[in-house]
Amino acid sequence: MGRQRLFARLAIVAIITVFSLQACSTFANPGPTPTPFGAFQLDSRFRDLYERLGGEPVLGKAISPTFPHNSSTCQYTENILWCYNPGAAVDADLVSLIPIGQLMVSPRPGQKLEVYEGFQEMYTRLFGQRYVGKPLTGARYNKDKRRIEQYFEKMGFYLQIDDPHATVRLMAYGRYVCGISCSLQGDPGSAIIGYDTGIEVLGASSLQRLGGFDVFGSPLSQPYTASDGNQEQVLNNVLVYTPKDNPSTLRLRPLAKMLRIRLEQPGPQLYGIDQNMIFYQVQGELGYHVPVVFDAFIAAHGGREISGNPTSDPFYTLVDGEKVPRQCFENYCLDYNTKAAVPVTLAALGSQYLTKVKPENWVFEFSPASTRLIVSEMKPQVSSTEEQTIQVKVLQQRGLVPISDIESILVVGLPDGKKSSYNVPPTDQTGTASVTLPPVEKAANGTVIPFAVCLNIPAATQICQSGSYLIWNVR
């Protein structure tokens, strides 16, 4: 497919070269000086739509004369290719934009693509699919140019991640495709299109809503399939993934716990708002003290669902030789530096993670030796009129890393010899799931109720664990 696109591009460039030379031969005594960049006049037939779409600041200058192509008359500006077709059925279709983005990239079959949220306003302003076209890629991170890009059929958008104004600009499709056939003196600017070196961004729109690269850091890896079958990606500060049954949802792995950073038992509340602390209860009356500035940051960037619970009270650590307060939560760690332009930032746990493991090269295989399945009952004994809750926890044996989105089957043995089966919902980010059983009515006092849980996964050997609880009617 890549070779076909290259041949198609070369063929179009060759056609344009011929037509450009024919057009140039009509000029009267052009002289020895090359045509200055941007000296071409935009054809008047394109002018009205050109201005409606933002004019030169958006679409760039004209970089070629008009040239015939089939029954149309076409012309390049820096960022697009226009064509005028006098035989169009309706006036609205007289002027159109050509999908030259397809010469650079083709979407993968079956890939569901959405407009990146940071580009949605510009996409709508430029009349969406009519003049921008359908997405050809999701959002991508161009590491060399430090920008987010998205390729569409007729235009390409980009956004510099360190631009305080978050201005969306167009990639120079026109200059790139026209190449040497157009007047290209001057700074090539955004004509340097690096699709092949770009990094896809997992859950880009969700990430943008939570704070984007400014908060969570830029991608350090391409998305890859993790051991639990979910798509996963390492960012500078966090480890993100999208569940395979809900790929539009972005979640964070418990990276701070995986790296075993400052894991402390919760304690009683000692400080309150008067000491600029918020107390996060995590286990009955026990919990952790969270500085007000950290609590405000968490609230502004997805809440505790994104941060996870604290794993310790605040402590001091060295960052670039500076002693700063840090507090770790299940999914990330926060630093507070009053000397920095942005005082509260995430610690670079993603890069630390990559130094310890190469996740894209590690394919986890489920087996009794590699997987730890823990089952437990909520209460060791219940009466015959009470419900019972069975908890399931699934971990990787190495490092005790939680495995999410794993379903299982629970089978319960009843006093009359029959068995009841229950579907256990998928495990959450901590590898945990539970199911509540109805009362075992008319069970005699002292009856033992056995149960077993088996993981619903593709494995050569079934992974199961058993347990039991007691019916006790005496109070």
Distance CA 58, CA 127 (A): 14
- Which of these, 460, 449, 341, lies nearest to 388 by C-alpha position? 449
Share of the chain above pLDDT 70, in %: 85
Contact call for residues 466 and 375 (beta carbons, < 8 A) = yes
pLDDT per position as a tens digit, 205-258: 899 899 999 999 989 888 887 878 788 999 999 999 998 888 778 999 999 988
Q: Identify the band that residue 303 occupies on the pLDDT scale cut at 50, 70 and 90.
A: very high
pLDDT (average), residues 367-395: 90
Query: Is pLDDT at 285 greater than 80 in this prediction?
Result: yes
Identify the pLDDT of residue 265: 93
425: helix, coil or strand?
A: coil
Q: Is the pTM of this model over 0.85?
A: no
pLDDT per position as a tens digit, 305-344: 999 999 999 999 988 888 999 999 999 999 999 888 899 9
Q: Where is pLDDT greater, at 436 or 430?
A: 436
Distances (CA, A) of 107 to 63, 115, 151, 324: 28, 14, 10, 46
pLDDT (average), residues 290-312: 96
Distance CA 105, CA 144 (A): 19
Taking the CA atoms of residue 128, residue 130, residue 136 and residue 140 in that order, the dihedral angle to the nearest 10 degrees is -30
Q: Where is pLDDT greater, at 323 or 31?
A: 323
Q: Identify the band that residue 119 occupies on the pLDDT scale cut at 50, 70 and 90.
A: very high
Identify the pLDDT of residue 28: 27
Q: Would you list the DSSP string of 374-397?
A: EEEES-SEE-TTS-EEEEEEEEET
Q: Where is pLDDT greater, at 61 or 17?
A: 61
Contact call for residues 381 and 469 (beta carbons, < 8 A) = yes
Which are the contacts of 211, defined by CB distance < 8 A and separation ≥ 6?
300, 301, 302
Going from the N-terminus, what domains does the chain have, and what CATH number goes with each?
A: 1-199 (no CATH), 256-355 (no CATH), 371-471 (2.60.40.1930)
pLDDT per position as a tens digit, 230-243: 889 999 999 999 98
Which H helix or E strand runs over 67? strand 67-69
Structure tokens at 94: 């007289």
The dihedrals phi and psi of 413, each to the nearest 5 degrees, come to: -90, 130
Under the phi-then-psi rule, with left for phi > 0, alpha for psi from -120 to 50, and beta for the rest, what region is 37? Answer: beta
- Which of these, 245, 290, 243, lies nearest to 266 by C-alpha position? 290
Report the relative pairing of strands 381-382 and 371-377 from DSSP bridges: unpaired
| Residue position matching structure tokens 């510099």 | 160
Identify the pLDDT of residue 39: 67
Query: Is pLDDT at 363 greater than 70 in this prediction?
Result: no
Q: Where is pLDDT greater, at 344 or 37?
A: 344
Identify the pLDDT of residue 66: 93
Identify the pLDDT of residue 186: 45
Distance CA 381, CA 475 (A): 11
The pLDDT mean for the chain works out to: 84
- Which of these, 56, 77, 52, 55, lies nearest to 66 by C-alpha position? 77
pLDDT (average), residues 101-121: 86
**What's the chain's length in residues?**
475
Identify the pLDDT of residue 470: 92
Ranges assigned E (strand) in 263-379:
277-283, 286-291, 315-319, 322-328, 333-336, 344-346, 371-377
Identify the pLDDT of residue 193: 63
The dihedrals phi and psi of 418, each to the nearest 5 degrees, come to: -80, 170
Which H helix or E strand runs over 413? strand 408-413
pLDDT (average), residues 57-64: 93
Identify the pLDDT of residue 184: 52
Query: Is pLDDT at 22 greater than 50 in this prediction?
Result: no
| Residue position matching structure tokens 């109720």 | 449
pLDDT (average), residues 126-137: 95
Identify the pLDDT of residue 365: 66
Q: Identify the band that residue 112 occupies on the pLDDT scale cut at 50, 70 and 90.
A: confident
pLDDT per position as a tens digit, 72-81: 999 999 999 9
Identify the pLDDT of residue 50: 96
Which are the contacts of 305, defined by CB distance < 8 A and separation ≥ 6?
none
Q: Where is pLDDT greater, at 474 or 422?
A: 422
103: helix, coil or strand?
A: helix
pLDDT per position as a tens digit, 165-188: 889 999 999 988 887 677 554 444
Average the pLDDT over each of 125-129, 265-269, 321-325 and give the range with the smallest value. 321-325
Query: Is pLDDT at 474 greater than 80 in this prediction?
Result: no
